[in-house]
Chains A and B, each alone.
Chain A
C-alpha cells in the first residue's frame, strides 16, 4: 500500500486507517460526525495527498489543455485556478479536475486518486501534434486542505501570502514553515478554505504548524469519511459515484463549465449536439421523506418503474437526514417531485430538493 508523507502523523493522532485505491488513508480521527461539524463550524485539516498531479509543460501546453478540457484554460493565470474535466469525444467524463497555471507554458492538473494512471495514459494518447511534455507527479506532491469558517484566521499568520485578499479559486506561491507551497482558495467541502500543495520532503512541518496554530480555533484533523459527507452536502461531484464515462457533462449539471466558443476540444461536437437536442436525464438532489438511508446503487423508481440508481447517498451530519444524488428523466427532475428508492425489501419515499443541500452562510 502507498503511504502519504503524513502517514505517521495520522497514526500518532489515532486515526482509523483504511485502504483507498491503493493508498493507506485516514478514514476518521474523532468520528465522522464530529469532524464534519467541526468543518462546518470551525475548521478541519485534511491530508489529500492521494490526489493525482499531472504536469503538462511546453510551448503548446495551453493549446493542449484547451483541447483536453471543456472549460476555457485561456482564462487561467498563475493567480487563478479553475474547475474542469477531461472529456471523451462523447462528452462524458474521463475525470473531473482542477487546473492550475504554474506559468504560461506549464499547467498542473489535480485529478482523482483512483484515476491518476488512467488520466495520464489518456492524456499521453492524445498528445500527438502537441509539442508538450506530460509528467505524472502524483507520488511527489503532498496536498493538505484546511477548510472551514476559521481557516483564513489559522493560515494567515503561517504563510507569507496575503490570503485574505485572495478570491475563490485564487492561487499563489508562498512559504509555510520555510517550505515552498502552492496555495489556492479552493476545497471540497462547501466551506471557505485553502488547499496547499508542496513538494517538500518534510510536509509534516506544515501539517503540525497548522494543527498547532489552529488549536485556538478548535481545528481537528479530518478523514475521508467526513470529506465525503461534506462534499455531498455541497453537491460537489465524486467521480465513480456521480460522474463517469457514461454520464455527460450536461446531464451532470456542469454545463456552466463548457465554453463552446473557445474552439475545438474533445467532446465539443457531442455536447453541442446534446445541448441543441436537449438532455433526456439530469442529476438531481433528493432527500428521503421516510426513514432509512439511501446508499449508492439502491434502485430508484418513478411511478413504480425502475428508472435509475442512487449515485451518491449518505446520512447528512448537518441536516440529520438521508440525502443523495441520482439521475432522473428530465420530465421528473423538478423540485418537489416524489419518487421511491428501494431499500432492502421496501420502497421508501424520496423527494427532489434544490442543491447544493448546504450553502455557506445559510442555516439548516
Chain B
C-alpha cells in the first residue's frame, strides 16, 4: 500500500526522491480521510518552498486542507492534470495524483521524515 521508496510526513504527504529532485503528493490515508477531491490549488513554478511551508490546498466537497512541502526546495513542475481531473488524487494518490516536483535544497531534511514502515504504524495509531 505505502511504497518503500517514499518518505512520509505526519500531515500525510509523501515524497519520492531521485537524485536531487523529488515528487510530492498526499497519501492514500489522506485521500480516504478527505473523500471526493474536487479542487487542488498548486504553487507557481519557480516558487522556493521552505521546510513544511504550505504549498497549496486540496479541497473535498466539504473540507479545505493545506498541503505542506515535506522539504525545502524549488518548484520545478506542477501536476496540471489535477486542474481538470482532481479525482486522480482519490484514484491514484501515490501515482497519477502527484502534486509537484521539487529541486531539493537540503537532503538532510529527509531524515526528519518517516519511512513507510513507520508511517504505517503512525496511521494505525490514528485509526484506533
Chain A interface (Cβ within 8 Å of chain B)? 16, 27-28, 31-34, 225, 228-229, 291-293, 295, 314-315, 317, 344
Contacts and interface: CB of A to CB of B under 8 A. Distances in A.
Contacts of B59: 293, 315
A322 to B, nearest CB: 8
B57 A315 contact: no
Nearest to A28: B35
Given A33-B38, A292-B41, A314-B62, 9 more contacts: A16-B35, A28-B35, A31-B35, A31-B36, A228-B62, A314-B61, A315-B39, A315-B59, A344-B41
B39 A33 contact: no
A343 to B, nearest CB: 9
Nearest first, the 5 A-B pairs at minimum CB distance are A315-B38, A32-B61, A33-B36, A293-B39, A315-B61
30 contacts: A16-B35, A27-B62, A28-B35, A31-B35, A31-B36, A32-B35, A32-B36, A32-B61, A33-B36, A33-B38, A34-B36, A225-B35, A225-B61, A225-B62, A228-B62, A291-B39, A292-B39, A292-B41, A293-B38, A293-B39, A293-B59, A293-B64, A295-B64, A314-B61, A314-B62, A315-B38, A315-B59, A317-B61, A344-B41, A344-B57
A34 B35 CA distance: 11
Interface in B2-54: 35-36, 38-39, 41
Interface string B43-81: 000000000000001011110100000000000000000
B117 interface: no
A314 B61 CA distance: 7
Nearest to A315: B38
B49 to A, nearest CB: 16
A340 B98 CA distance: 30
Nearest to B90: A31
A315 B41 CA distance: 14
Interface of B: 35-36, 38-39, 41, 57, 59-62, 64, 83
A40 B127 CA distance: 33
Contacts of A315: 38-39, 59, 61
Which secondary structure characterizes the binding site on chain B? strand
B72 to A, nearest CB: 21
Which of B35, B38, B60, B64 is most buried by chain A, counting CB atoms within 10 A of its CB? B38
A315 B58 CA distance: 13
A32 B39 contact: no
A229 B41 contact: no
A291 B83 contact: yes
Contacts of A32: 35-36, 60-62
A292 B38 CA distance: 9
A200 to B, nearest CB: 31
A229 B61 contact: yes
Contacts of B38: 33, 293, 315
Contacts of A34: 36
Contacts of A295: 64
B13 to A, nearest CB: 19
A27 B33 CA distance: 12
A315 B38 CA distance: 7
A31 B60 CA distance: 11
A103 to B, nearest CB: 41
B61 to A, nearest CB: 4
A293 B39 CA distance: 8
B83 to A, nearest CB: 7
B108 to A, nearest CB: 31
A255 to B, nearest CB: 31
B40 to A, nearest CB: 10
A229 B39 CA distance: 16
Contacts of A228: 62
Contacts of A293: 38-39, 59, 64
Contacts of A225: 35, 61-62
A291 B57 CA distance: 13
A298 to B, nearest CB: 10
A344 B35 CA distance: 22
A188 B115 CA distance: 47
Contacts of A317: 36, 61
Which of A27, A33, A295 is most buried by chain B, counting CB atoms within 10 A of its CB? A33
A225 B35 CA distance: 10
Contacts of B57: 344
